[in-house]
Chains A and B, each alone.
Chain A
Amino acid sequence: MENKLKENTVETNLTKKLINEFQAYQSKLNGDASGSLNHLRTDAMSVFEKLGFPVKKMEEWKYTNLSPVMNHDFEFSSDLSVSGITRADINKYIFSDGNVNRLVFINGIYSRELSSVISNNEKIFIGSISDSMKNYKEIFEKHYSKYADYKNRSLAALNTAFSPEGAFIYLKKNTELDTPVHILNISDSKIKSVFSQPRNLIVIEEGSKIYIAEDYYSAGDNFCFTNMVTEIFCGKNSHTEHYKIQNEDERSFHVGMTQIHQEQDSHYSNTTISWGGSIIRNDLNSVFDGTNTESHFFGLYLLSGKQHVDNHTLADHKMPNCYSNELYKGIIGDNATGVFNGKIMVREDAQKTNAYQSNGNILLSDDATIYSKPQLEIFADDVKCSHGATSGQLNQDEMFYIKSRGIGDKDAKSLLLKAFASDVIDSIKIDEFKNIIEEKMDLKLKNLLK
């Protein structure tokens, strides 16, 4: 298998540069890192060297071509520890002044000055992975890189090779944190094109509850390439609300893997919204490792110009009596392309599984494209699974009805598109954050319908 993949890979300048960079990175770390971590990095790098960047020949990458990314000369974030991003700059990215825990990462590097954490106590840690080492090394080692498999995934391997740098969030048993956590990632390409690899680890122990908003932005006129990995451990009967919003500009590339591990009776809900960026690929995978777990995947991609957004999801039912529900919606205009690949895996032991999936798309132009692929693999016999995919234009009867009340063409379209997206937007449970999302959606629609 790996040999076959090897044949498919293309040696790019970026690959070569990364290999060199890795050697430099290793030597810089010196005695910093523990032996096991170093071993992990070296192993991950060898996987990446073997697999290289994914290419379109691979089934999982059939519709997404990363080669435009390879044309840019990226600077590695470790060389750009000084950033020009100021507190005034981040004001336009924040959603609440007071009641929020904010972690700011510039080019994947933690900015202590710009971050503000208010909830930390003996049961709660919100901070960077490096800051967590003092008191939470054991927790870190127990969970880090245990869920995001890099052996067959070159991008996750690449991230693992250069990690860990990113957010570490830990809620001890029976801790309900109502104050949301905002992970603000900014790619700063003011000086040069940048390549950053954020790595987040979130551990929510038994009976705990959290709200996390993971936000991505870009600043500067050069190019940005983000390769992120977030691992989330959802302990027994825990409750996690997780949002990932991609607001980067048209000179940004973003590939990412969000890997969820769910224990018995846990509840996890994810909302992924993509409206920025040039080429985006998201992998969202949840593994149900306990009975009676519940998982919700919501997604919205709102695309214009030549944007390309690829969402791959996996609900991996390993245990009985679990529930997963997925709703992804796309609004695609101009020459943009959306890809949706939703996989439901129901393994032999996963009897009484309920797994649902739906993907709806509205195409606003003749040149807009959607590739929608539901994938059900079912090995248990007593299950309820369904999937549905639609794509179409705006309903003309609805358009006429709205216009006949005095509402103009653009506003009528905007009203209907917002209505179409509303069940995804409504899945966001942090009110202040949701308000900002709605404002952004208005703005994006205005540009799209001009």
Chain B
Amino acid sequence: MKTMLTIKNLKAKIETSEGDKQILKGINLTVNPGETHAIMGPNGSGKSTLASVLTGREGYDVTEGEVIYDGKDLLELDPEERAREGIFLAFQYPIEIPGVSNVNFLKTAINEIRKSKGQEPMSSVEFLKMMKEKAKLVNIDPEMLSRYVNVGFSGGEKKRNEIFQLAMLEPKLSILDETDSGLDIDALKIVAGGVNKLKSKNNAFIVITHYQRLLNYIVPDFVHVMYDGKIVRSGGKELALELEENGYDFINELKVNAEV
């Protein structure tokens, strides 16, 4: 099986008003097609920074290491090129774009991706048909799609819209950044149900979450615990349950050991 993503000793910093701050301090991770990886960890451990660096958000400076995606040096690509190569980020805080309708936004995105692959633009009929189908997946009212991107959407609607976009763009590697935050249990089930229907042997998911709750519905193959810019523990899905029971206490032990 061909590896999809290899992260080797990835270190990254951000510029702050108090000088540079090292956030990622040597991440190693391998993701294969068909796999779902959960990344857990306390606040400030660098989970969202990892998502940002993988998708090319500005303001992060990679100081060491490499990321190979589909045989390519991912860090050399612009955000839009990464998206066209099949990387998708479901945002923790989806952005509102007044004046741009969901339909127009997605149609532009899909056709840009198709263009990059030398394909013809999708016909309007085909596009509308696809939109209807995918909207059902996450229980989105088609009326919402004619509205401006995320404007006037509730927190839950915004998250569902992220998964809807994921469904429309059919990425190879999806990164869900705290998609569960701010969702009630019903909304969480809808979102997780959508993701499960989209899983296949050809795509992969990285699910970033603070809580174990989401992982009851999106069952991971691997669970990684991040702390202070590193993956400090990896295991199977049972690791999430262990964390649920014992919390991140073991990290304190790690800290003590490090100090000794």
A: which residues have CB within 8 A of B?
A: 396-398, 400-409, 411-412, 415-416, 418-423
Contacts and interface: CB of A to CB of B under 8 A. Distances in A.
A420 B99 contact: yes
A20 B113 CA distance: 64
A419 B84 contact: no
A415 B109 CA distance: 11
B79 A400 contact: yes
A419 B100 contact: yes
Nearest to A415: B100
Interface string B38-76: 000000000000000001111000000000000000000
B89 interface: yes
Given A398-B97, A415-B100, A406 B113 contact: yes
Interface of B: 55-58, 78-80, 82-84, 88-89, 91, 94-95, 97-100, 104-106, 108-110, 112-113, 116, 148, 165, 169
A400 B112 contact: no
Contacts of A401: 91, 94-95, 97
Given A419-B97, A422-B99, A423-B99, A404 B79 contact: yes
A169 to B, nearest CB: 33
A406 B109 contact: yes
Considering residues B56, B79, B116, B165, which has the most beta carbons from chain A within 10 angstroms of its beta carbon?
B79
Given A396-B58, A403-B83, A404-B55, A419 B108 contact: no
Contacts of B165: 405
B84 A406 contact: yes
B117 to A, nearest CB: 11
A403 B112 CA distance: 10
A407 B97 contact: no
B99 A419 contact: yes
Contact of B78 (A397, A402, A403, A411): A403
B116 A406 contact: yes
B112 A407 contact: yes
25 contacts: A401-B94, A401-B97, A403-B79, A403-B80, A404-B55, A404-B82, A404-B89, A404-B91, A405-B83, A405-B105, A405-B165, A406-B84, A406-B109, A406-B112, A406-B116, A407-B108, A408-B112, A409-B78, A415-B97, A415-B104, A419-B98, A419-B99, A419-B148, A421-B99, A422-B99
A73 B221 CA distance: 79
Given A403-B83, A404-B88, A409-B78, 4 more contacts: A404-B83, A404-B89, A405-B109, A408-B112
Contact of B83 (A398, A406, A419, A420): A406
B80 A406 contact: yes
Considering residues B57, B80, B95, which has the most beta carbons from chain A within 10 angstroms of its beta carbon?
B80
Considering residues B78, B98, B108, which has the most beta carbons from chain A within 10 angstroms of its beta carbon?
B108
B98 A407 contact: no
Contacts of B97: 398, 401-402, 415-416, 419
Given A403-B79, A406-B84, A397 B99 contact: no
Contact of A411 (B82, B110, B112, B169): B112
A421 B100 CA distance: 11
Contacts, number: 78
Contacts of A422: 99
Nearest to B82: A404
A277 B112 CA distance: 33
A407 B95 contact: no
Contact of A407 (B58, B80, B94): B80
B108 A418 contact: no
A144 B203 CA distance: 73
B150 to A, nearest CB: 9
Given A419-B98, A419-B99, A400 B108 contact: no
A264 to B, nearest CB: 35
Nearest to B84: A406
Nearest to B168: A405
A362 to B, nearest CB: 12
Given A404-B83, A404-B89, A419-B100, A398 B109 contact: no
Contacts of A402: 97, 105
Contacts of A397: 95
Contacts of B105: 402, 405, 415
B80 A408 contact: yes
Considering residues A403, A419, A420, A422, which has the most beta carbons from chain B within 10 angstroms of its beta carbon?
A403
Nearest to B57: A400
A405 B169 contact: yes
Considering residues B83, B99, B106, B110, which has the most beta carbons from chain A within 10 angstroms of its beta carbon?
B99
- 3 A-B pairs with least C-beta separation: A419-B99, A406-B83, A401-B95
A437 to B, nearest CB: 15
B127 to A, nearest CB: 15
A400 B53 CA distance: 12
B172 to A, nearest CB: 13
A165 B204 CA distance: 71
B147 to A, nearest CB: 13
Contacts of B89: 404
B59 to A, nearest CB: 9
Contacts of B100: 415-416, 418-419
Contacts of A407: 80, 83, 108-109, 112
Given A404-B79, A406-B83, A416-B100, A411 B95 contact: no
Contacts of B108: 407, 411, 415
B96 to A, nearest CB: 8
B69 to A, nearest CB: 15
A404 B78 CA distance: 9
Nearest to A414: B108
B210 to A, nearest CB: 22
Contacts of A419: 97-100, 148
A422 B99 CA distance: 6
Contacts of B84: 406
Nearest to A425: B99
A211 B88 CA distance: 47
B237 to A, nearest CB: 28
Given A400-B79, A401-B91, A406 B57 contact: no
A412 B94 CA distance: 16
A416 B148 CA distance: 12
A337 to B, nearest CB: 25
A407 B105 CA distance: 9
Considering residues A403, A405, A406, A421, which has the most beta carbons from chain B within 10 angstroms of its beta carbon?
A406
A168 B100 CA distance: 40
